[in-house]
Structure 1
Amino acid sequence: MTADLDIVAAGMVTAVGLDAPSSCAAMRARLDGFQETRFLGAAGEWLIGAPVPLPRNWMGAKRLAHMAAAAIVEAFELIPEARGRTALILCLAEENRPGRLAPDSRQLLTQIEQIAEIASPIASRVITHGRPSGHVALEAARRLLASNATPFVIIVGVDSYLTSQTVNHYLARGRLLTPANSNGFIPGEAAAAILCALTGGAMRLTGIGMAREKAHIYNEMDIPFRGDAMTIAYKEAFAGSGRLHSDITLKMGDLVGETYWFQQCALAMLRTQRERSPVQPIWTLGGSLGNIGAAAVPAMLGWALSAVQHGYAPSGPILIEASSDDGACAAAVVEAR
């Protein structure tokens, strides 16, 4: 589907930087924020994680609220006229994920609005689909802007896998990276915000697609995994942008480290690319930040915006993809103005 809107500003709080410029520079340099955590693995070893080095040791929902508010304030500092004229869409972890730091989404939203001093002209919205939440938020933002309900929409994603219940849940299922398991992810946390408008940005969203995979990572029915949903998402995004897969010059993905997600990306590419093209580089967040959940898509869009503004992104359309454990898959195409 078509999804014309501009990305005009971004803010980030990550394990490699407390603002967008430092975070994007660190990810460009392939630096990481990995360190030993207070969590123990099955063999008694310290697990590796990617915590955000906040100036104060906030815990629980308060930690998420301060991270999200910092990202929002940074975006507003770049576009001060957006204050008081911006609708807020908050992206959070799946409601059924064990160990969510903020089980009451509305209460967290209120905390964020108070800390960031946001006065939204319309009711704020919460989306709880984990990593693909940002794509759902982009479609909601497109509709809000197209209806002239608000001149700006800010999408903020905040998430953390660094809780004991979450770590134990994924450790028990063999999904964390440990000395005994190379097919796992590193738990992380982050917040990222992108400010959207109809015009005025250096980067434009031109297409978006979404679908649901039946053969998801917890597939217990032994359905053959062919990457059907991500293939559909790719095709919808390409159709909306008027582009072919061979036109893409850069891919950005939430590939957190497990082979399932790389296989999904490869299958979708094999089933949608029909023309020869140069090798398309893939930039991933997992190598620097670990698995940051619902903050992934805003972070990738912010990184893409920085790369476009500073001239180190390849010239041409950028494909941004994300998917979740329950099979939700999404892809978007963005291009420099």
Structure 2
Amino acid sequence: MWGAERLSYMLQSVVDEALIEHISVDTAQIAILAIGAEPQRPGRPSSCLADALAAILDDARQHGKEFHALTQFCDYGKAGIGKALAQASQLLASKDGPEYVLLAAVDSLLDAGAVESFLAEERIATDANADGFIPAEGAGAVLLTRSTAATPALWIEGVATAQEAWRLDSDTPLRAEGLTAAIRGAGQAANCEIASLDFHASGMTGESWYAKEVGLALARCMERKKPEFPHLMVARSVGETGAASPLLTLAWLAGLMAHPTNPGSAGLLHFAGDNGQRTALIVRYSSHSQVTG
């Protein structure tokens, strides 16, 4: 199974898996926001992802079900997770909005066009280039709600986005101003200090520019020195999955932070896109009822 058929299958699989524990929930109260790669990404899957979402809706109708009318496809890319979460929050808060938002994403960098383009830019890890990423593919989904009955759960307490002026092909120095603004904004939204968090997780894939950016941003955002601030990276296990990376990270942390040997109860997540988008999130695992923004 390859191409559009494979991506459609992957998206359908994570949607089904995310809902399997909520079979009793009326799907008419669930809006799906399906995220794909940004339009300018090399080798980006074309309209097949929007078609994949349409196929999911058609399949539901054949089984006598309907998803919420505000279900839609969003070509936001990896760092567009902040925009998607803001959109989900607005849907959940609206008068006629859904009770749940199923945030899903699917992406593949194994397309020949993507591989050829990134090889030409010397961004893929090879025997001759250690400063690169491993192209991969993935899909992930998380079910979002404001309902306090959803505890214990991973709560998203703050989200912020910013734009970085620097680009990979730029002659200007990398100052990490966009990521710094996003991290500070997320901390303010969650009303917490970044230094009070237990760990951070990112979409970093092995390229040195991102490591430098993260180092600069954290140095500016930490209110005080910390002896340790563990960095979790889903790409260490699955490679570069593009737009799917943030959803894989959220799903992974939802299970990891519930485990007795968890990395902590609160963390910072941050993601960067080639188009300059930067997003930061503050997440906290809690067994107590609460309502988040």
TM-score by length of 1: 0.79
Match of 2:4 in 1: 61
Amino acid at match of 2:158: G
Residue-by-residue CA offset, 1:47-80 (whole Å, 9 max, x unaligned): xxxxxxxxxxx21111111101111111111122
Secondary structure in 2 matching 1:112: helix
Match of 1:325 in 2: 274
Amino acid at match of 2:157: T
Secondary structure in 1 matching 2:124: coil
TM-score by length of 2: 0.90
C-alpha distance in structure 2 between counterparts of 1:115 and 1:164, whole Å: 30
Residue-by-residue CA offset, 1:71-123 (whole Å, 9 max, x unaligned): 11111111223341200001101112232233354323212334566722223
Closer/same/farther in 2, CA of residues 94 and 111 from structure 1, 3 Å limit: same
Secondary structure in 1 matching 2:252: helix
In the TM superposition, residue 224 of structure 1 has moved relative to its aligned partner by 2.2
Match of 1:178 in 2: 126
C-alpha distance in structure 2 between counterparts of 1:146 and 1:294, whole Å: 25
Match of 2:88 in 1: 141
Is 2:109 the counterpart of 1:161?
yes
C-alpha distance in structure 2 between counterparts of 1:193 and 1:116, whole Å: 17
- Check whether the contact 1:127–1:133 (CA below 8 A) recurs between aligned residues: no
Match of 1:286 in 2: 235
Bigger CA drift: 325-334 or 74-83? 74-83
Given candidates 70, 82, 99, the residue that maps to 2:13 is 70
Match of 1:218 in 2: 169
Given candidates 126, 132, 154, the residue that maps to 1:203 is 154
Cα RMSD after superposing both structures: 1.6
C-alpha distance in structure 1 between counterparts of 2:59 and 2:109, whole Å: 23
Given candidates 242, 258, 261, the residue that maps to 2:207 is 258
Residue-by-residue CA offset, 1:133-173 (whole Å, 9 max, x unaligned): 32221111111111241100000010000111110010011
Secondary structure in 1 matching 2:44: coil
Is 2:122 the counterpart of 1:122?
no
What residue ranges of structure 1 are gaps of 5+ in the alignment? Answer: 1-57
C-alpha distance in structure 2 between counterparts of 1:61 and 1:82, whole Å: 29
Closer/same/farther in 2, CA of residues 116 and 97 from structure 1, 3 Å limit: farther
Is 2:62 the counterpart of 1:111?
no
- Check whether the contact 1:194–1:298 (CA below 8 A) recurs between aligned residues: yes
Residue-by-residue CA offset, 1:14-42 (whole Å, 9 max, x unaligned): xxxxxxxxxxxxxxxxxxxxxxxxxxxxx
Match of 1:243 in 2: 192
Closer/same/farther in 2, CA of residues 223 and 116 from structure 1, 3 Å limit: farther
Amino acid at match of 1:332: L
Match of 1:96 in 2: 40
Name the % identity.
27
Amino acid at match of 2:178: A
Amino acid at match of 1:286: A
Is 2:135 the counterpart of 1:192?
no
